[in-house]
Structure 1
């Protein structure tokens, strides 16, 4: 199944289905079987915030209707009425002074009669002809006669008095309902003048006529103000957690309408929450796909990693869902006991730290939805924050320390962080929880952290064995010198053991420098020459105070013994069920390189042979780590054989070996670049210079050498 090309698509689909059905019941709005005009048997709260459009429209209409009419003071009316009064008095003066005569109605040839020859009635008639019909109708003839018979000085004085009074009164607001009062005020102002009674009465009549309403209803301003009042009304909202109807209260039509609005009636199945959940799942899958599909690995590697991730995710989500069922016992804080950090720690240890951080965010989102029982919203944000910080704490605490003892310490650290987070949340929310409740929260937080570490330790062997995972923890355990195979090398081939340790140091430094897995290179190098334990004395590093057996063997036989250590080592590792990566290192660390010493020795004897007979069976190194171990293996052996290794000689030797490997095609099947090879060469040289540095001789040793000489 690991090599099935479309398995990852199936896994993504299954993962989305698991998330959907796990969260389905938690996002599905609660529906109630209530009927109109019945008594409610429970207190019903609004599950979310909704806009009440009907109430909003009603409130806006009310605001529109409550706006009073807008009136505007028309100041230009004052000027117009002053001009009107002035024109009336000017017409009177003109008639009195003969500037206006009787109209020639018989024709142009008739002469105009002088005003002095006109009678009073005729003057009134002439005056009315020069005034507008409205003025002539409103002002009595008696008033006109009084002014026409008065002296010019009195008319002038009355004119000024009326103009002043009209101007004063008209500059104030005069609504229609206060018109008579304004006219009375104008008449009172004229009473202070010293005009004759007849003239004063006539002037008062003209002044009262001139006073008109100047505080006028403004239709456009009124409409604009009403519109602004309606627009300023905020939408009426039924806030989340608002009580719609209390227990034993009648479900009126208004209450029933609100229940229908918030989607609590059974006859109305909402679809928006499910669409929103589907979109959220797509976003989660998008993040996971962007991680897994960008990895430059074959389908087998992707499928294995994704399958492992899906199992860890499903186990963690299942734990959340099972524990959430206990919310039904009216205890809404059971989410604090969920060991959510277990999933994040497992992902960190078995897969990748970046993926573990992403998983922490996903767990926080899912947990805040799963544990939403007893709250008025869909998301229980305190629980989400609690899970997120707890998961991140476990990931960051482990760092590069992946020993099993560190997992337990990480659980204790997560428990401490959980308690701190709960304390923070309680203080932020200004909670009134009792001491018993706070104590129970702290106990659950501690249990959550400890159970996460225990479950992690329990699940690790199953995942490592079932998926054949070479985790960092497993590598560290395999690097233990007390491992049976390492003990075998140390006791049966001590020279090979020391050589392997040196190669491990060189390989780890070089791999770390180019971004490869340094720990894998180190531990793999410990086992790369395990095959030499089958015939240890045939390898020069183990020949202490004995003759070289190869001196008595033919080159072909010696070649077979040397070459077989690679295949023998791979077979021994398979027998002990060691990781495949170690088996590949043992098989490939010599590639198909040529055993030059025995090849040329055979050529000197005149044997008819080919280079292929004296080459390792391979295959060539397939990964960066194996290629680096291959180079480090040759470099360490070559430098050890040098009499006086100086820094210059070491640099020259390292570059020569790498160049020889390139020309021989031994690095063709791994993805090492020339730039990375240059970094490897530099790192190997620096490490070797530190190992083979020059030392001063102690005086006793110097004296002993002189004495011997």
Structure 2
């Protein structure tokens, strides 16, 4: 029955991985922009590496965005201003003159002929002034169209007057005549004259929009079969524009019709291959992660998030594709797992994105270099300064890489897009979001980061304070074991902080019955003296189970609980086992064994060795170098003979290094000195 359940679980786990794999492939292909891929890769300033290229289809040469922007700016700068003419203003001015002069002449002694002469001169001046119109505001351009009688006609730069110029013209005309009441007529004309030509913004803007709509986005056509570029020829400005136009036209045609399904199939195969590589890597080199569906899901979720963010940016504005903080991926994976896995997943993700981003070679190169820098520089992220320093170096790599590629493509510094520096800085700022993201992932996936381990290692935490109060001897023992285990882990390259935290909490189960453990007994009274060996052994063994219950109640991470479960493995409570043998002959050894499991990692194996050595060292009397050496060898040899390290990925060489560290530390603890001759 047990084997059947194991097989069901194994198949269930494998089925979930298949499901995760196919869903991930489907989602990534779905995220991809809907377009084919041009079969040639080319860069400005680099030789054409393929055979002579002839146009495979008819296509138009597209103008660049800069060329279109320059044309629009030129039209805006040279736009024609439209002005409207109001004929009623002239008639209104004449009526005003007649009214004003009539009122004046009614109180004067001028004859009828003189009055008519003054009036006629005034009307003639008005007709002369309004011949072309009086402008409300002096035009600022020479391109002017005057709309008069529903007809627009151009005016030269000197063919218009504004109100001040009109009054000046009136004074000049009157100064050359000898009519009576000249000053009265001038005052009347100044009062009557008004602007009758007005700038029409609505018509002007509408005309400009019409001109802008006529701008062509292409400049010439290339017919099928025309020679484009020869093998080895350098891709220069003109050829670069033609090749880009062919690429856009080719990809748009490729995506249409039945080709759609073939392109989907091609993308699916390539993405599937990449993700197969990830599974193979995990299965061969990270088997403990491969077996854990939670961790596999975590890795795939991160890949999908990066692919989704990048493809979304490509669809909206591919100029800002570097805003996506792709280096968060190796940062997070290194924090939870290891550097090699973080870099491997980062490279695979970049390869996937290389299918859809513009300038794929440049993108892949920069992102892989930035990922390597991330792996090499990001360490001890629980120290805030380290994250800022690492992000600064990543940003610098992006900027330097952009400079290098720009020089290669353009051969100068003149057309540098300074806005990209802001993009790289924004990328760095978003990379800092790795810290809160780590916290979120811990809560969602139940993982443990160095930041959490640092918090758990605080001896002022609630649980450790309780252990210190209830079982001070056990607390002191845990501190000693933590120091030994941490030193050993550092020597063999294991996770020293994880080992230390595991050591601090590994005996919390002793809080329930502290006096039954010798390190907490402050008198000569031993409660085990009044108990049978089996019951005493059960109390000792139960501290593992009770410790797990306390840990779960206090929400300790599973990785820490693993240390509680494995720190005694399946060893025997030897003292009480021998004591029971003195009472009866046939003793069931299983009743005196810890439930296990045995250690299944370097870190849990280190804790088992350190715990056993530190606990047993209390029995040493007058220790010497030789005694300590034999003592450590005996303890660890016994654990190896009991097959306690079969499931731990630890080598004999590493065990020898650990023994050496433990001997050295015990020598320091007991303050051994060299014996000088008398």
Range into which the TM-score falls when normalised by the shorter chain = 0.5 to 0.7
Q: Find 2:330's aligned residue among 338, 344, 349.
A: 344
- 2 CA distance for matches of 1:302 and 1:493? 35
- 1 CA distance for matches of 2:237 and 2:263? 18
SS of structure 1 residue aligned to 2:291: helix
Q: Find 2:342's aligned residue among 345, 356, 372.
A: 356
Deviation of 1:264 after TM superposition, in Å, equals 6.4
Q: Find 2:479's aligned residue among 496, 501, 505.
A: 501
Residue 421 (structure 2) aligns with: 442
Q: Find 2:611's aligned residue among 625, 633, 642.
A: 633
SS of structure 1 residue aligned to 2:568: coil
Quick one: structure 1 residues 337 and 367, their matched pair in 2 at CA, closer, same or farther if it must change by over 3 Å?
same
Quick one: structure 1 residues 548 and 634, their matched pair in 2 at CA, closer, same or farther if it must change by over 3 Å?
farther
Q: Does 1:658 align with 2:636?
A: yes
SS of structure 1 residue aligned to 2:274: helix
- 2 CA distance for matches of 1:363 and 1:681? 42
Residue 458 (structure 2) aligns with: 480
Q: Does 1:19 align with 2:9?
A: no
Q: Does 1:550 align with 2:536?
A: no
Quick one: structure 1 residues 543 and 13, their matched pair in 2 at CA, closer, same or farther if it must change by over 3 Å?
same
Quick one: structure 1 residues 45 and 534, their matched pair in 2 at CA, closer, same or farther if it must change by over 3 Å?
farther
The question of whether the paired residues in 2 share the 8 Å contact of 1:357 and 1:395 is answered with yes
- TM alignment of 1:128-143, pairs within 5 A: none
Q: Does 1:522 align with 2:500?
A: yes
The question of whether the paired residues in 2 share the 8 Å contact of 1:398 and 1:407 is answered with yes
Deviation of 1:671 after TM superposition, in Å, equals 5.7
Deviation of 1:314 after TM superposition, in Å, equals 0.9
- 1 CA distance for matches of 2:354 and 2:553? 49
> Which deviations, in whole Å up to 9, do the C-alpha atoms of 1:337-388 show, x marking residues without a partner?
221212221222223322322333344445555442xxxxxx3444444433
Deviation of 1:653 after TM superposition, in Å, equals 1.0
Q: Does 1:42 align with 2:42?
A: no
- 2 CA distance for matches of 1:292 and 1:281? 17
Gaps in structure 2 of 5+ consecutive residues: 1-8, 40-55, 61-213
- 1 CA distance for matches of 2:478 and 2:240? 77
TM-score (norm 1): 0.59
- 2 CA distance for matches of 1:599 and 1:260? 81
Quick one: structure 1 residues 611 and 674, their matched pair in 2 at CA, closer, same or farther if it must change by over 3 Å?
farther
Residue 291 (structure 1) aligns with: 281
- 2 CA distance for matches of 1:265 and 1:668? 61
Residue 393 (structure 1) aligns with: 373
- 1 CA distance for matches of 2:36 and 2:413? 28
> Which deviations, in whole Å up to 9, do the C-alpha atoms of 1:446-503 show, x marking residues without a partner?
111111221x223223322322223344333322223322222233323222211222
Quick one: structure 1 residues 262 and 326, their matched pair in 2 at CA, closer, same or farther if it must change by over 3 Å?
closer
The question of whether the paired residues in 2 share the 8 Å contact of 1:402 and 1:472 is answered with yes
- 2 CA distance for matches of 1:16 and 1:441? 32
Q: Find 2:592's aligned residue among 579, 596, 615.
A: 615
Residue 123 (structure 1) aligns with: none
> Which deviations, in whole Å up to 9, do the C-alpha atoms of 1:89-130 show, x marking residues without a partner?
xxxxxxxxxxxxxxxxxxxxxxxxxxxxxxxxxxxxxxxxxx
The question of whether the paired residues in 1 share the 8 Å contact of 2:35 and 2:252 is answered with no
The question of whether the paired residues in 1 share the 8 Å contact of 2:26 and 2:268 is answered with no
Stretch moving more, 633-642 or 512-521: 512-521
- TM alignment of 1:410-425, pairs within 5 A: 410-425=390-405
- 1 CA distance for matches of 2:236 and 2:258? 19
Quick one: structure 1 residues 677 and 343, their matched pair in 2 at CA, closer, same or farther if it must change by over 3 Å?
closer
> Which deviations, in whole Å up to 9, do the C-alpha atoms of 1:252-308 show, x marking residues without a partner?
xxx9x9899957658887689777755643553353233122136368635333321
Query: Which structure has the greater CA radius of gyration?
Result: 1
Deviation of 1:240 after TM superposition, in Å, equals 8.6
Residue 165 (structure 2) aligns with: none
Quick one: structure 1 residues 22 and 669, their matched pair in 2 at CA, closer, same or farther if it must change by over 3 Å?
closer
- 1 CA distance for matches of 2:384 and 2:485? 25
The question of whether the paired residues in 2 share the 8 Å contact of 1:46 and 1:262 is answered with no
Gaps in structure 1 of 5+ consecutive residues: 57-232, 247-254, 373-378, 698-709
Stretch moving more, 643-652 or 653-662: 653-662
- 1 CA distance for matches of 2:248 and 2:541? 83
Quick one: structure 1 residues 660 and 27, their matched pair in 2 at CA, closer, same or farther if it must change by over 3 Å?
same
Residue 63 (structure 2) aligns with: none
SS of structure 1 residue aligned to 2:503: helix
- 2 CA distance for matches of 1:595 and 1:235? 80
- 1 CA distance for matches of 2:512 and 2:347? 52
Residue 210 (structure 1) aligns with: none
Deviation of 1:412 after TM superposition, in Å, equals 3.9
TM-score (norm 2): 0.62
Deviation of 1:313 after TM superposition, in Å, equals 0.9
The question of whether the paired residues in 1 share the 8 Å contact of 2:334 and 2:342 is answered with yes
> Which deviations, in whole Å up to 9, do the C-alpha atoms of 1:151-190 show, x marking residues without a partner?
xxxxxxxxxxxxxxxxxxxxxxxxxxxxxxxxxxxxxxxx
> Which deviations, in whole Å up to 9, do the C-alpha atoms of 1:196-235 show, x marking residues without a partner?
xxxxxxxxxxxxxxxxxxxxxxxxxxxxxxxxxxxxx966
Residue 335 (structure 1) aligns with: 321
- 1 CA distance for matches of 2:480 and 2:604? 15
Quick one: structure 1 residues 632 and 242, their matched pair in 2 at CA, closer, same or farther if it must change by over 3 Å?
same
Residue 311 (structure 1) aligns with: 301
Residue 549 (structure 2) aligns with: 571
Residue 160 (structure 1) aligns with: none
- 2 CA distance for matches of 1:7 and 1:45? 56
The question of whether the paired residues in 2 share the 8 Å contact of 1:386 and 1:421 is answered with yes
Stretch moving more, 566-575 or 502-511: 502-511
Deviation of 1:315 after TM superposition, in Å, equals 0.8
Deviation of 1:636 after TM superposition, in Å, equals 1.0
- 1 CA distance for matches of 2:220 and 2:270? 26
Stretch moving more, 278-287 or 237-246: 237-246
Residue 148 (structure 2) aligns with: none
Deviation of 1:652 after TM superposition, in Å, equals 0.8
Deviation of 1:527 after TM superposition, in Å, equals 0.8
The question of whether the paired residues in 1 share the 8 Å contact of 2:343 and 2:375 is answered with yes
Deviation of 1:648 after TM superposition, in Å, equals 0.7
